[in-house]
Chain A
Amino acid sequence: MSMATLLADWQDNGNVSVSRIENFIFGVSFLLLSQLPRQLAHADSLEFLTVDNFEPLTAESFAKIKADYKGKPFLLSLWSIDCAPCRLELELLGEQKKKDASFPLVLISADSLEQRETAFYILEEYSLDGLTSWMFADNFSERLRYSIDPNWYGELPRSYLFDASHAAFAHSGVLTQQQLASFVETLSQ
């Protein structure tokens, strides 16, 4: 949010009689203070959680993830702590990762980041806690789902096999051994 936007918004509000100078002071103070909670919140979370590798997934994150894998294939697996079949897929992926540490795997949990502790213990069970993975940054799940795939209705597990050009094969339900095996085969080509 830029200073100009802030000021413009206040001035648009006809009910309020604050001078431009006052507005400016409010704005500067607000912008300075608005940086504070991030630091504090971060320090706060470190107190009760040891170490995990979760990043918040915002509406912009998936585009960044794809950019990081530019020209490279990867497997995207969407899961949640509330989804029993997801455990089968995590188990399969955990084994694959053990076989090949460089296997290009992107895990996104459709749970909000507040549940990171639970999610961490689940991933730990399948030795998937070591890699960076993502959790929904807020509870506006429609928007976050849409940012990954407008055609995903929220069913889990959901996976996407992206080739090097990022054309994707989408699959709802637990990924089968065969689907994973044929994807692995394409990696070595």
Chain B
Amino acid sequence: MRIFLMTFDRVLTKSVVKSGLKRLFLRPLFLKQASLRRGALVLTIALNSMVSASESVDARVDCDLSIDTVDCGSAYSATMDRSGKLWVSYVRDQHVYVSQSDDKGKNFSSPVKVNNIAEDVEHNGENRPKIIVTSEGEVLLSWTLKTSNRYTGEIRFARSNNSGETFSEPKTVNDDELKVGHRFDSMFLTKSGHLYLTWIDKRELHASIQAGQNYAGAAIYYAVSDDYGRSFSPNYPVSSNSCECCRIAMAPSGEDGVAIVWRQIYDEQIRDHAFAVLKPEGKVSLSARASFDDWYINACPHHGPAMEIAATEDDYHMTWFSNGNLHQGIYYARYNAFTGVSDAVMQVDGKPGAGHPDLKEFDGKLYLVWKGFDGKATQLNLIVSTDNGQTWSSVQTLYSTEFASDYPLLVRDKDALFLSWHSNEYGYSFSRLAGQWER
């Protein structure tokens, strides 16, 4: 049994522990929290394949006392390497950390600092460090460094070629040397070994301001590395007039390209989604509007899309949020890159509080998770499609918590599909949704 101290103030915790009263005073609180957790834990194991998620939710430690744990950060990302090892990155106290697990999230290695010198790493739902492990075992990290309170930032990258023991000094990937916004990084490694970094960039806005011209929003830029991040190409433009504050979704396009979906500004007022295919040499093609929600808003939705390549040719599954005139809530569609047409458009959840979906395919089934909120508790919901997104199962609630929690993310390896999620109640949890797996 571990000590659970979430509601304890830092000052009290230290003073109590120092004065040797730990056993006397911590026990009642621990018991209180233990009973509270049992009451709040709702695990609906309705899917036959959804097993033993409770195994990974019982780790909870006092984050004021222990630094050496994966449970006490924010803005998590996760990936599986070729050998089935889980890698998790997160932010704590101006450092990006990486921790590994040989048993799919039951036990974790001591976290390793990626940036040795503290820097203001962005760590919110839309801005989280990204982690990729190459087939050769190199560990690649990207994140956004906040450089002021005026929405400026830099796209940072670091790599490890000794299995995450140490990391290279972080370098900045945006090459304009301007103190403007370069934020909301996303990273993707293609089968051909091309590493793509794409982000929201304000150099065009800056140039327009200098020229005394109006400019709506920001822009999308990218860079490519063909040596796993030892060097990067020049920055390439993708699109002008993007929204300023939503994550960019990425998926493969052929062997060496990527498809991306992001929130774009149309007619200076509408913030719907755009699609494009990027190639290693800087060529951008198939640019088109991918969602028609007609969301007239001059604001930051802080609500980016997710995307997954479909089994059918040129198709992509996408899920997103809108509060437009035509669509409100979480939506799903299957978008065809060549025709530019979305099929099977469906409202996933139109209830207030619904948000932050992710989706992944596994073993011919499509899994879509998102967060709901009923006024008291956050629910992590799941629907499954067995026919390429044409029809969907009823909603399964996987977790419910009355504490703050991060976005849900789906992670896949060749054997299984997992849910990666952090909450203040359960700490970091990694649980299997489908497939074969033994701890």
Which residues on A are within 8 Å of B, measured CB to CB? 1, 6, 9-10, 12-13, 16, 18, 23, 26-27, 29-30, 33-34, 36-38, 40-41, 44, 80-86, 118, 121-122, 138-143, 145-146, 150-158, 172-174
**Are B27's CB and A153's CB within 8 A?**
no
**Are A16's CB and B31's CB within 8 A?**
yes
Choose from B297, B300, B353 the contact partner of A142 (Cβ within 8 Å): B353
**Are B35's CB and A174's CB within 8 A?**
no
Q: Please give the distance in Å from B54's CB to the nearest CB on chain A.
A: 17
A38 and B373 in contact (CB under 8 A), knowing A85-B299, A138-B404, A153-B352?
Answer: no
- Can you name 15 extra interface pairs (CB under 8 A) apart from A36-B15, A153-B321? A10-B28, A26-B25, A30-B29, A37-B10, A82-B124, A82-B151, A82-B302, A83-B300, A84-B151, A142-B378, A153-B303, A153-B323, A154-B302, A155-B300, A156-B300
Which residue of chain B is the closest to A23 with respect to CB atoms?
B28
**Are A174's CB and B299's CB within 8 A?**
yes
When distances are taken between beta carbons in the complex, the residues of chain B under 8 Å from A44 are 11
Choose from B16, B301, B352 the contact partner of A150 (Cβ within 8 Å): B352
A-B contact count (CB 8 A): 127
Q: Please give the distance in Å from B281's CB to the nearest CB on chain A.
A: 32
Which residue of chain A is the closest to B404 with respect to CB atoms?
A140
Choose from A33, A121, A174 the contact partner of B149 (Cβ within 8 Å): A121
Assess whether B412 is interfacial by the CB under 8 Å rule.
Answer: no
- The contact string, 1 if C-beta is below 8 Å from chain A, for chain B 287-301, is 000000000111111
A30 and B371 in contact (CB under 8 A), knowing A13-B34, A154-B303, A173-B297?
Answer: no
When distances are taken between beta carbons in the complex, the residues of chain A under 8 Å from B355 are 153-154
**Are A26's CB and B28's CB within 8 A?**
yes
Q: Please give the distance in Å from B35's CB to the nearest CB on chain A.
A: 5
Assess whether B2 is interfacial by the CB under 8 Å rule.
Answer: no
When distances are taken between beta carbons in the complex, the residues of chain A under 8 Å from B373 are 142-143, 146
A86 CA to B149 CA in the complex, in Å? Answer: 13
Choose from A9, A83, A172 the contact partner of B323 (Cβ within 8 Å): A172
**Are A82's CB and B300's CB within 8 A?**
yes
A48 CA to B298 CA in the complex, in Å? Answer: 36
**Are A27's CB and B403's CB within 8 A?**
no
Choose from A13, A150, A155 the contact partner of B299 (Cβ within 8 Å): A155
A155 CA to B16 CA in the complex, in Å? Answer: 42
Assess whether B12 is interfacial by the CB under 8 Å rule.
Answer: yes
Q: Please give the distance in Å from A159's CB to the nearest CB on chain B.
A: 10
A40 CA to B12 CA in the complex, in Å? Answer: 9
Residues of B within 8 A of A (CB-CB), count: 43
Which residue of chain B is the closest to A10 with respect to CB atoms?
B31
A145 CA to B323 CA in the complex, in Å? Answer: 16
**Are B303's CB and A157's CB within 8 A?**
no
**Are A172's CB and B297's CB within 8 A?**
yes
Q: What are some 29 contacts across the A-B interface (CB < 8 A)?
A: A1-B32, A9-B31, A10-B28, A13-B35, A26-B24, A26-B25, A27-B28, A29-B25, A30-B29, A33-B25, A36-B9, A36-B12, A37-B10, A40-B9, A40-B11, A41-B11, A80-B300, A82-B302, A84-B244, A84-B245, A142-B378, A146-B352, A146-B375, A150-B353, A150-B375, A152-B352, A153-B321, A155-B299, A155-B323
**Are A151's CB and B35's CB within 8 A?**
no
For window 25-51 of B, CB contacts with A under 8 Å fall at 25, 27-29, 31-32, 34-36
For window 303-342 of B, CB contacts with A under 8 Å fall at 303, 321, 323
**Are B299's CB and A26's CB within 8 A?**
no
Assess whether B8 is interfacial by the CB under 8 Å rule.
Answer: yes
Choose from A85, A121, A122 the contact partner of B298 (Cβ within 8 Å): A85
